[in-house]
Amino acid sequence: MTAILFASHSGAVSGAERVLLDIVEAFPDGRAFVFEKGDLPARLHAAGLAVTVSAHGHTLSGIRRDSRLSAMLPTLLALGRITLELVREAGKVDLVYANSQKAFTLAAIAALLRRRKLVWHLHDILSPSHFGAVQRKIQTRLANGVACRVVVPSRAAAEAFVQSGGRGDLVAVVPNGVRRSLDPRTKAELRAHLGLPQDRLLAGIFSRLSPWKGQHIVLDALEEANEFTGIFAGAALFGEQDYAESLHAKARNPAFEGRAIFLGQRSDVQLLMQAMDVVVHPSIDPEPFGLTLVEAMLAGVPLVATDAGASAEILDNGRYGRLFSPGDARALAAALREEVAGLKADPDATRTRTEAARERALDLYSVERMNASITALLNTMTGRG
C-alpha cells in the first residue's frame, strides 16, 4: 500500500481544509503533517490518519500570503526547523500531498531532499492581487522543478498558474467536491430555530472576513437595497481583525437599523443558507473556486456573485445565478432587487432555476467525483493506476 503524507499549514478549518478533510476519506491509511494546532489536526486524526503537528509552526502566523520577502526573514529559523520536520515525515511515505501555499514551499524542499514524489493542491489564484512577484516566481519554479502534478479547482486557477510561469502540462483541473443534504424544515421554521428575523428579506454572506472577500461592498449595497438584511457568517482568521472591526463599526451606523447581523464563525452553514432569500458571493478579486457558490446551489437558494475567477465557470456565465461586476455596490444592490422582483413576478421560474442549479452541483461538484479524480491521479503518480 502506497503511503501518502498530507501537509497543510493552517490548523483552522476554512475552505481548503474542508476540501482536504473530504479528500482524506479516500486515504484512511495516510499520514498528515499540520503546521499549527487547531481543529484540523483533531479532525484528521478522527478520520483515521496518523497526525503530526509541528513544534514550530505557531511562529508563522504573522506571514501573510502577500508578505514581502523582507518581512519573512525573522521567521527563517522556524521555517528551517519545520522543513526538517517535514523531511523526517516525508521519509515515512512514498508521496507528499501539499494542500496549501506555505505547506507546498517547504514540502517541495523536503520532497526534493528525500526524493519523494510531490503533488501540490493549489487552492488559490496566483495573481499579483494576491501574491508578490517573488512569491509567485518561487512557487512556480518549485512546481516546475519538483511537483509531479498541480491540482487546481477550476480553469481560472489553471490559467493563472500558467500565466505566472507554471508549466501547463503539470496542471490537473479537479473541481472541489461538496456534500450537503437539504433540511426538510421550511424557511420560516429554520429562521425560528436559528433566531433570524422572520419579516425581512435576508441576504446571506458566507466567508471569512477579509477585504478581498468583499463584505464592505455588501454593506455599501445594503445602504441602497434597504429592504434587505445582511447575514454575515464568518470570522477574521488570518490577521484581518482590523478589517472585521471596520465592518462592525460601519454596521453600527443608525442608518442600518440592525440590517447587518454578524454571526461569527459557524458550523451550521447549511441551515443558515436554506434560511436565506438569496446568497451573495461578493469577492473583489478572482476566486479559484468558491465553495459557497456550490453550497448555495445545493441549498436551492438564488445566488448573486461577482463575475470574476471561477464564479462564471460554476454558474455557467449567469445561467444559474446573477453575476455583477467586482467591487460595484450599486450593481450588487440592483442585482438583489432584480432577484426579488423576479421571485415576485414569476416564482416558478426562480424555483426552476434553483432546482437546475442544484442538479448541476450534484452532477459536477460532488465529493465522490472529486475523490475519484484525486484517487486516479495519485494512483497514476505511484504506479498503482
Residue 70 is predicted with a pLDDT of 56
Averaged pLDDT for residues 331-355 = 93
Helices (H), the chain: 15-23, 39-46, 69-72, 76-90, 101-114, 133-146, 155-163, 187-194, 215-224, 241-251, 269-274, 291-299, 311-314, 329-345, 347-364, 367-382
> Is residue 127 predicted with pLDDT exceeding 90?
no
C-alpha cell at 278: 438569496
pLDDT of residue 156: 93
Cell numbers at 68, concatenated: 514581502
Averaged over 62-84, what is the pLDDT? 68
What integer is the mean pLDDT of 281-286?
Answer: 94
Q: For the chain, how big is the Rg over CA atoms in Å?
A: 21
- Does 60 score more than 70 pLDDT? no
Q: Are 63 and 101 in contact (CB under 8 A)?
A: no
* Residue 76: per-residue pLDDT: 78
- Average pLDDT on 291-296 reads 93
In this prediction, residue 73 carries a pLDDT of 60
Query: To the nearest whole number, what is the mean pLDDT of the chain?
Result: 91
Q: Is the dihedral of CA 154, 155, 161, 167 positive or negative?
A: positive
- The mean per-residue pLDDT over the stretch 36-40 comes to 92
**Percentage of the residues of the chain whose pLDDT score is greater than 70:** 95
Its pTM stands at 0.84
Rounded mean pLDDT, 365-376? 94
Cell 456565465 found at = 317
**Residues paired with residue 4 on neighbouring β-strands, in sequence order:** 95
Confidence of residue 218 (pLDDT cuts 50, 70, 90): very high
Query: CB–CB of 382/2 below 8 Å?
Result: yes
**pLDDT at 63 exceeding the cut of 70:** no
Candidates 174, 89, 144, 83; CA nearest to 378 is 174
The one-character DSSP state at 131 is S
Checking if the pLDDT of 379 tops 90, the result is: no
Q: Band of the pLDDT at 37, cuts 50, 70, 90?
A: very high
Using the structure block, give the residue that is written with the C-alpha cell 500570503.
Answer: 65
Largest CA distance in the chain: 64
Q: What pLDDT does 75 receive?
A: 75
pLDDT (average), residues 58-63: 62
Residues 303-322 have a mean pLDDT of 94
pLDDT digits (tens, 9 = 90+) for 228-281: 999 999 999 777 899 999 999 999 988 888 899 999 999 899 999 999 999 999
Q: In this structure, are residues 279 and 296 in contact, taking their beta carbons and an 8 Å threshold?
A: yes
Phi, psi of 184 (to 5 degrees): -75, -10
Give the pLDDT of residue 324. 97
Measure the CA–CA gap between 249 and 210, rounded to whole angstroms: 15
Domains belonging to the chain, first-starting first, are 4-176+366-382 (3.40.50.2000), 187-364 (3.40.50.2000)
Q: What is the pLDDT of residue 54?
A: 94
Spatial distance between the Cα atoms of 2 and 95, rounded to a whole number of angstroms: 8
116-119 CB contacts, 8 Å cutoff, 24+ apart: 116/90, 117/148, 117/381, 117/382, 118/146, 118/147, 118/148, 119/95, 119/147, 119/148, 119/149, 119/150, 119/151, 119/377, 119/378, 119/381
pLDDT at 1: 44
pLDDT of residue 301: 96
The answer to whether 171 touches 178, Cβ cutoff 8 Å, is no
Given pLDDT bands bounded at 50, 70 and 90, which one contains residue 74?
low
> For position 17, what pLDDT does the model report?
93
Quick one: 26 exposed, middle or buried, by C-beta within 10 A (0-12, 13-18, 19+)? Answer: middle
Among 56-65, 232-241, 365-374, the minimum mean pLDDT is found in 56-65
- Give the cell for residue 370: 472529486
Own/partner long-range contacts of 373-379 (Cβ < 8 Å, ≥24 apart) = 373/172, 373/174, 374/23, 374/26, 374/151, 374/174, 375/26, 375/27, 377/119, 377/149, 377/151, 377/172, 377/174, 378/2, 378/4, 378/27, 378/95, 378/97, 378/119
Per-residue pLDDT, 380: 85
Distance between CA atoms of 327 and 187, rounded to whole angstroms?
30
Please check the confidence at residue 71 and state whether its pLDDT lies above 90. Answer: no
